[in-house]
Structure 1
Amino acid sequence: MAQSINTKVELTTTGVSYLSIGGKVGKFLLGDKGIEFYSDKNVEDYIQIPWANILSIGANVTGRKNTISRHFEIFTDRGKFLFASKDSGKILKIAREHIGNDKVVKLPTLLQTIGQSLKNIFKSKKTE
């Protein structure tokens, strides 16, 4: 049986983990000790990330109303985790309370990533 790392739960919501191919649907538990994700199909298939291990957490923010996308990434000392949830804004607000405002970042959009890649390609050709 999976044992929770949290003693108090602040938010429970549904979402998807993209750790494996195709993604797994499950539940998020955010509490006083960290973020947890439990798969709906197999509760023993879980991810537990303590707040102390999170280097940063980020999501795409788009539009004039600063809409937060469903997808967010958690960067830890062990790697990167990609998740999606309809309540990603709430998840980021709770994470901000635990890890600090400076570790909650705005990730670049797809167009910004492509633009930066093109800049780097042309920049490297000029220096040759």
Structure 2
Amino acid sequence: MIQITMKKDLNTIQSLNQKVDLVMDGTSFLGMGNYGKLMIGDKAFEFYNDRNKRDYIQIPWEEVDYVIASVMFKGHWIPRIAIQTKRNGIYTFAAKHPKQLLRAIRPYVPADHMVRSLTFFQVLKRNFSHLFKKKGNKNG
């Protein structure tokens, strides 16, 4: 279960992780960009907002389907990563050191579920090929 909550009592916020592997500055793009801390641990991927401590995202590793990295300039720059969950959609984050973040995620997500996103030209090519593709005859 993914928790995106706004709770009234600050004392009820608890991390899902027993052991923390990495904590770094990051941005969540859920709605407006929110600055905060990204936390990678043994049980979950977590984001805690700097300004509003009641605003946080917790994604358990069992719920993560894919980790999608937006890679530019042949891997020299990774502007953002996205976490696609099994039931609740895609959450996008940016990190201060994205390669370090992806290395910390690697032990918890299978290698075939860590993928690169499509480039701008791959998206254009796919859309043009679908646009000019002949439609099959429904009557046989």
Listed one character per residue, the Cα deviations across residues 39-91 of structure 1 (whole Å, up to 9, x for unaligned) are: 01111100000111000101122334x22412111000211101111222122
TM, length-normalised to structure 2: 0.82
Q: CA deviation at 1:34?
A: 1.0
SS of residue paired to 2:105: helix
**Contact 2:71/2:79, CA 8 A, preserved across alignment:** no
- Would you say 1:94 and 2:94 are equivalent positions? no
Provide structure 2 residue ranges, at least 5 long, that are not aligned to the other structure. Answer: 1-10
Letter in 2 for 1:19: L
The equivalent of 2:113 in structure 1 is 103
Amino acid at match of 2:18: T
Unaligned 5+ segments in structure 1 are none
2:90 is the alignment partner of 1:70: no
Q: In percent, how many aligned pairs have the same letter?
A: 35
* Structure 1 match to 2:6: none
C-alpha contact 1:28 1:36 (8 A) present in aligned 2: yes
Distance 2:97 2:15 in 1: 21
1:10 aligns with 2:21: yes
Equivalents in 2 of 1:114, 1:74: separation in Å?
Answer: 23
CA RMSD in angstroms comes to 1.4
Contact 1:12 1:29 in 2 (8 A): yes
Q: Which has the larger radius of gyration?
A: 2
Match of 1:127 in 2: 135
Count of residues paired in the alignment: 124
Q: Does 1:79 align with 2:54?
A: no
**Residue 47 in structure 1 maps to residue 52 in structure 2:** no
Q: 1:102 Cα deviation (Å)?
A: 1.0
Contact preservation (8 Å) 2:71, 2:78: yes
